[in-house]
Structure 1
C-alpha cells in the first residue's frame, strides 16, 4: 500500500494521457539523469531548490515529483509544494520503479527547446482537420502538457518556426511529418517510443481518417465526420483544438478501456421464455 502522499507507478500509468493528469516534475540529480536521460511521458526537469518560484507558476496545479528512487528529493519537493498550497505527491519507488515496470519513457532530446516558462512550442498549418488536431492532443497529453500550439498560414510555418524556436509539424519537408503511408501522429509515436497499445489502436484510426483509407479501421469514418464537423463549427483554430481535445480524449479512453463493449437497445427487453 502506498505511503501517504505517494502514488504507485501502476496508478500513475492509468492517469497519464487523461485530462486529469497532474504535472510530473523530474527532480533527479544531474548524475542520475545522465545515466538515463529519458523522462516519464509529460514530465519536465525541475530544480528542487527553487520550488517557491515553481509554486507561483503552478498556481495551485496538482503535481507529482519523481526522483531516482522515491526518497528525499521527490518527497521533499512534494512536501514543500504542499506547504505552498500546491497539491503534490511523489512517485513511489521513483524513476527506477517506473523503468523496472517497463512503462513508457520518452527521449526529451527530440523535443523542441523550452521557453523561459519551460514550455515547448509547435507550429503547423491553419485550419486543421485530423492530424493537426491529433498531434497537438498527443503533445499535450504525453509530451508537454503546457505546450504552445501555433496555427499559421501554410507559407509561414517554416519562418515562424525559425523566428520563435518552434517545431514545425505536418507540413512537407520537415522532420515531424508524413513518412510513406504513416501520418505525423504515427511518426511522433515511433520517434518518442510511446509504445502504448491504446495509442497504437488510436493511431490506426487517425491514419485511416487522415489518409482517406477508411477501410483500415471501422471507427475512422466517425472520426472523419466529427473532425470535419468541428472544422465547420469553429472559425478560430485554437477553439477548434480545445473542442478536439475532448474528442481525442474520448477516442483514447475507448481504445484503452472499451473496445470490447457493445450497446444495444432496448436494454430492458424481457427475455423470451
Structure 2
C-alpha cells in the first residue's frame, strides 16, 4: 500500500518549478550537507533539532522534508509538522535518491547571502521586458521563492546594490549578466547548475527574444510579443513581474510537457 506520509522522487520531480509546488525543507545534518552542498530546487535549510521553534512559519503550506536517506530525520520532522496541523511528507529515499535519479539540484554556493528574513535580494533596471522577468521567474521557482526584486533607474543599480546589500543582475560589468551571445537567464541556469531539457529549451526562447535573434526558434516572436505587451499593460514593475510569472509558467510547462502536441479546429463532417 502506498505511503500516505511520503512522496516519491518521481512525484516530487513533477511538482518542482510549478507555482503550486510544495515548500521543500532540507534537514540534513551539517556533515552530509557539507559533503554534497547542493539543494533541491527552491528548498531551504532548517535544523531538525529546533523544529518546534520554526514549524509555525509553514502553517497553511504543503511541505516536503528532505534528509539524507529519507529515514528518521525527515520522517520525524514531517510527523512533528503534522502534529502542528501542517500538511507534511518526507521524501522517499531522501537526498540520496533524488541525486541518484539525476533530478535537478541547485549549487548552494552560487546562492547569494540572504537578508535577516532569509531572502535573497536582487536589483536591476526598471521597465523589464524579457531577461529581467525571466531571471526573477527562475529564481523564485527554482532558487528562492521569497526572493526580493528591486527595479530602479539603470544608473542607480550599482549604488542601490551597495547600499541595500542587493545582487545586481542584467546590467553591464556584473557577474549575473550576458556572456557573449548568451543572456542573463542562460548565465543563471549555468551558475545554479539547473540545466535540464525543459529549462534549456526555455532558455533558447528567452535568448532569441532578448537578443533580437527571432530566427533561433519559432516560438521567439510570439514570446517577445507577449513580453512587450505585458510591459505596456503595467506601470508598476512588480505588478508586471507577477503577471509575467504566469507567462513563464505556461512556457515552462510547454517546454516540459507539450512540445509534441498540436492543435487544429475539427473540420466535422463534410457537407452533403
TM-score (norm 1): 0.96
- Work out whether residues 63 and 89 of structure 1, in 8 Å CA contact, stay in contact via their aligned partners in 2: yes
For 1:170 and 1:94, the matched residues in 2 are separated by 35
For 2:29 and 2:245, the matched residues in 1 are separated by 34
Equivalent in the alignment of 2:102: 102
Gaps of 5+ in 2: none
For 1:182 and 1:2, the matched residues in 2 are separated by 45
1:243 is aligned to 2:243: yes
Offset from partner CA, 1:143-191 (integer Å, 9 cap, x none) = 1111111111111211222222221110001000000000000011111
32-41 or 47-56, which deviates more: 47-56
Gaps of 5+ in 1: none
1:252 is aligned to 2:252: yes
Offset from partner CA, 1:65-122 (integer Å, 9 cap, x none) = 0000001111111111122122111100000000111112111111111122221111
- Work out whether residues 122 and 166 of structure 1, in 8 Å CA contact, stay in contact via their aligned partners in 2: yes
* 1:180-195 equivalences in 2 (<5 Å): 180-195=180-195
* 1:2-151 equivalences in 2 (<5 Å): 2-151=2-151
Q: Tell me the secondary structure at the aligned position of residue 172 of structure 1.
A: coil
Offset from partner CA, 1:228-266 (integer Å, 9 cap, x none) = 11111000000000000000000000011111111111x
For 1:180 and 1:272, the matched residues in 2 are separated by 57
Q: Tell me the secondary structure at the aligned position of residue 49 of structure 1.
A: helix
Equivalent in the alignment of 1:168: 168
- Against the structure 1 CA distance between its residues 29 and 212, is the aligned structure 2 distance closer, same or farther, given a 3 Å change threshold? same
Q: Tell me the secondary structure at the aligned position of residue 42 of structure 1.
A: coil
Q: Tell me the secondary structure at the aligned position of residue 149 of structure 1.
A: strand
- Work out whether residues 112 and 165 of structure 1, in 8 Å CA contact, stay in contact via their aligned partners in 2: no
- Work out whether residues 2 and 92 of structure 1, in 8 Å CA contact, stay in contact via their aligned partners in 2: no
For 1:21 and 1:271, the matched residues in 2 are separated by 46
- Against the structure 1 CA distance between its residues 14 and 271, is the aligned structure 2 distance closer, same or farther, given a 3 Å change threshold? farther
- Against the structure 1 CA distance between its residues 232 and 2, is the aligned structure 2 distance closer, same or farther, given a 3 Å change threshold? same
Q: Shift of the alpha carbon at 1:59? A: 3.1
For 2:150 and 2:172, the matched residues in 1 are separated by 17
Q: Tell me the secondary structure at the aligned position of residue 18 of structure 1.
A: coil
TM-score (norm 2): 0.96
- Work out whether residues 160 and 166 of structure 1, in 8 Å CA contact, stay in contact via their aligned partners in 2: yes
Offset from partner CA, 1:189-226 (integer Å, 9 cap, x none) = 11111121010000000000000000001111111111
For 2:258 and 2:152, the matched residues in 1 are separated by 36
Equivalent in the alignment of 1:213: 213
Q: Tell me the secondary structure at the aligned position of residue 20 of structure 1.
A: coil
The structure 1 segments of at least 4 consecutive aligned residues displaced by more than 4 Å after TM superposition are none
Q: Shift of the alpha carbon at 1:55? A: 2.6
- Against the structure 1 CA distance between its residues 115 and 53, is the aligned structure 2 distance closer, same or farther, given a 3 Å change threshold? farther
Q: Shift of the alpha carbon at 1:129? A: 0.3
